[in-house]
Chains A and B, each alone.
Chain A
Amino acid sequence: MTEELAVAAHGLEKSYGNVHVLRGVDLHVERGSVFALLGPNGAGKTTTVRILSTLLPPDVGTARVAGYDVVRERTKVRRRISLTGQYAAVDEDQTGTENLVMMARLRGFRRAAARARAAELLERFDLTEAAGRRVGTYSGGMRRRLDLAASLVTEPAVLFLDEPTTGLDPRSRLALWQAIKDLVARGVTVVLTTQYLEEADELADRIAVLDHGTIVAEGTAAELKQKVADTRLDITFVDRASFRAASAKLGDAVVSAEPEELRLATVTDGSAAHVRSLLDDIDPSRTTIAHFRTRTASLDDVFLALTGRPAQERPKEPAHA
């Protein structure tokens, strides 16, 4: 390897007709680190991963992965990366073993070596018992684990994971996170995309927030949270007058307001002392607040804080009759 960086991308742009999917993306990923691209559907995460994994040439800009140019030296890049796409790309009508042996054969293993490698990976991903069963009978979590195993037939310099846990139940998600952490401990550089702040927080050393094809923020989870504040206090008022009075009192501290629901959100550190003092400030007479709750900042909050608008531009809900 000739460069220190696992991924270095400059000014990536990609358009389909009039739709500008990427509008100038720069990325730098250190070797041996985990980098998360965080963003809502349609932000350009998958397009970025497809460019970095040589599947798609950018219209403008350059990228080097594992030291090689993703367009001019794509064969060299392909021999050093693995991609686990958004949909588990394993064959339902082959068994777990057959899928992995096939991948190993495509990576140049001889038959016996391919079998040995498949068995080793099945063991490592806790799939030995299901090895002889068709993948069609696997649960979603097992399928993702097999998909990940298929990416590791040769240990890649850079592993791309496109939304690795989308659609998984919480337990399978935890199991997959553990599998990814194990890889990272072995020194694999991981570039993953996710819609979940929690996932990026759990796995990534650095996070880039992608929105409408540009990176709107980048940093460690802690740095982003500082910008965003990770705990929210939702307060619901008893009537419109007290809602308005509180809005005026909090001013800029209001991070979101839902007048229909008589609800305001503000930032807190989540400690009892801070919540208590906030509630006392807003409602000294202890009569105008109906309920409150604290919650972790969501991707919506990150987006609201970073871009001034919600992550998903939902159609306005019709007013209830």
Chain B
Amino acid sequence: MPEHIAPAPSRVGDLITMAARSLRLTSRNAEALLISLTLPVILMLLFVYLFGGAIDTGTAYVTYVVPGVLLLCAGFGASLTAQTVSTDMSSGAIDRFRSMDVSGAAVLTGHVTASLARNVVSTALVLAVAFAIGFRPVAGLREWLLAAGVVVMFVLAISAVSAVIGLLARTQEGASGFTFFMTFLPYPSSAFVPVDTLPGWVQGFAENQPVTPVIETLRALLLGGPAGSNALLAAAWCGGIFVVSVLLARVLFHRRVR
């Protein structure tokens, strides 16, 4: 038999193959896909039509709430990363890939990249519905691009956290349980109501948690107005969370495969 020696692997090629795989797997998990695509839209409609009338934000409520819904949406989309990572770690898939010289980093980065791609779709869906119900931002092309950058940054950060949770959780159920909390982070923030209407003790948390500066930056970009220190804060939070998550993921991954 002629002996085949597999060619030296292409790192970029592996990453693309892994991301495509992750997308295919999640797109076939009908329940999870439906939730990550439709739940943000449903919540937006719920807030705008049921609660919005009672919330005074100084602008049309739909305009106020869209940046928050975009982040909520990112949370739902990214939380699938924990499930896909956790499944790979416990199913033997990771051993198979490593024995083929596909690095753990390629597998994990593939899941995070797929999360980003999923979020592009769900974000577009939310924006389409938002425009249909009266969302009228004032942003120009430059602002839109910057806003897209902010969303990407946020999605990368929470997808990385999600991957860490996937590495920590022993079961897929455990992983989705953990990320459930993460999807709640936008509520005690300026996403749905102005922070000064929150009870005092929640205000302290809301003003100092990562979601608020990200949302305020998005608002400033889409609706006009000064972003102030929020842009820098948002970048610092997202960058910091991403870097810490990547470092944690490295440690946890090596511990899991020992």
| A→B interface (CB under 8 Å) | 1, 50, 53-56, 75, 78-89, 91, 93-94, 98, 102-103, 105-108, 134, 150, 154-157, 160, 186-188
Contact = CB atoms under 8 A, between A and B. Distances in A.
A277 to B, nearest CB: 50
Contact of B99 (A83, A88, A108, A187): A83
Contacts of A108: 6-10, 13
Nearest to B22: A91
Contact of B3 (A53, A56, A155): A155
B165 to A, nearest CB: 21
12 contacts: A55-B95, A75-B101, A78-B101, A83-B95, A83-B99, A85-B96, A91-B21, A91-B93, A94-B28, A106-B102, A108-B7, A154-B6
A53 B99 CA distance: 6
Interface residues on B, range: 20 to 34
Contact of B98 (A55, A82, A88, A107): A55
DSSP majority for the A interface?
loop
A34 B10 CA distance: 32
Given A89-B92, A89-B93, A103-B100, A79 B1 contact: no
B210 to A, nearest CB: 32
Given A83-B95, A83-B96, A91-B21, 6 more contacts: A81-B99, A91-B93, A94-B25, A94-B28, A108-B6, A157-B3
B104 to A, nearest CB: 11
B142 interface: no
B5 A80 contact: yes
B59 interface: no
A56 B24 CA distance: 30
A150 B96 contact: yes
Contacts of A94: 21, 24-25, 28
A186 B4 CA distance: 13
B95 A89 contact: yes
A66 to B, nearest CB: 9
Nearest to A53: B99
Interface in B1-46: 1-10, 13-14, 17, 20-21, 24-25, 28-29
The 10 closest A-B pairs by CB, nearest first: A78-B101, A108-B7, A187-B1, A89-B96, A83-B99, A89-B92, A87-B92, A154-B4, A93-B28, A79-B6
A107 B95 contact: no
B91 interface: yes
A94 B97 CA distance: 16
Contacts of B21: 91, 94, 102
B2 A155 contact: yes
Nearest to A98: B24
B132 interface: no
Interface string B108-126: 0000000000000000000
Residue picked from A56, A85, A150, A160, most chain B C-beta under 10 Å: A85
B15 to A, nearest CB: 11
A207 B8 CA distance: 34
B257 interface: yes
A98 B97 CA distance: 15
Interface string B66-100: 00000000000000000000000001110111111
A157 B5 CA distance: 8
Contacts of A1: 3
A108 B92 CA distance: 21
A150 B96 CA distance: 10
Contact of B91 (A89, A157, A160): A89
A50 B95 contact: yes
A19 to B, nearest CB: 13
Contacts of A150: 96
B5 A79 contact: yes
A89 B107 CA distance: 14
Contacts of B4: 154-156
Contact of B5 (A55, A102, A154): A154
Contacts of A81: 99
B99 A82 contact: yes
B95 A186 contact: no
A105 B17 contact: yes
Nearest to B258: A56
B29 A107 contact: no
Given A91-B25, A186-B1, A187-B1, A107 B100 contact: yes
A134 B10 CA distance: 28
Most A Cβ at <10 Å: residue of B4, B6, B10: B6
Contacts of A80: 3, 5-6
Nearest to B26: A93
A55 B102 contact: no
Give the interface centre of A83, A86, A88, A106 by most chain B CB atoms within 10 Å.
A106
B28 to A, nearest CB: 4
Given A75-B101, A94-B24, A86 B5 contact: no
Nearest to B2: A155
Contacts of B25: 91, 93-94
